[in-house]
């Protein structure tokens, strides 16, 4: 099923632009391909529809997460 067909099923209730969370959508598709007998294509589309996010124009870049130092667990041994 092409990706553009999935967008035809999405409801158009508001004028806000929406996008599918691609990480979750890929995971759902992988699980569908692994276990074809457990899910039908409409079920896959419904699962993907639950993970639709609004597009926020003008939003700043990605968060700058600083790496944290590891914690020593030697205090538990003594």
Tell if the pTM clears 0.85, that is, is over it.
Answer: no
CA atoms within 13 A on the CB side of 8: 6
3-state secondary structure (DSSP) of residue 76 = helix
Query: Which residue range forms the structural domain that includes residue 13?
Result: 1-55
The 10s digit of each residue's pLDDT in 23-65 is 899 998 888 888 877 777 888 888 888 888 888 777 777 777 8
**pLDDT of amino acid 72:** 79
5 found inside a domain: yes
Q: How many domains does the chain have?
A: 1
Distance, in Å, from the CA atom of 1 to the CA atom of 29, rounded to the nearest integer, reads 10
The 10s digit of each residue's pLDDT in 5-28 is 555 555 556 667 888 888 899 998
Q: Which is more confident, 11 or 70?
A: 70
76 found inside a domain: no
**pLDDT of amino acid 2:** 52
């Amino acid at each position: 099923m092409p990706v553009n067909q999935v967008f035809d099923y999405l409801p158009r209730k508001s004028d806000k632009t929406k996008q599918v969370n691609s990480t979750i959508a890929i995971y759902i598709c992988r699980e569908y391909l692994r276990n074809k007998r457990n899910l039908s294509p409409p079920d896959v589309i419904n699962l993907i529809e639950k993970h639709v996010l609004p597009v926020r124009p003008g939003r700043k870049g990605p968060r700058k997460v600083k790496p944290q130092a590891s914690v020593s667990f030697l205090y538990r041994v003594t």
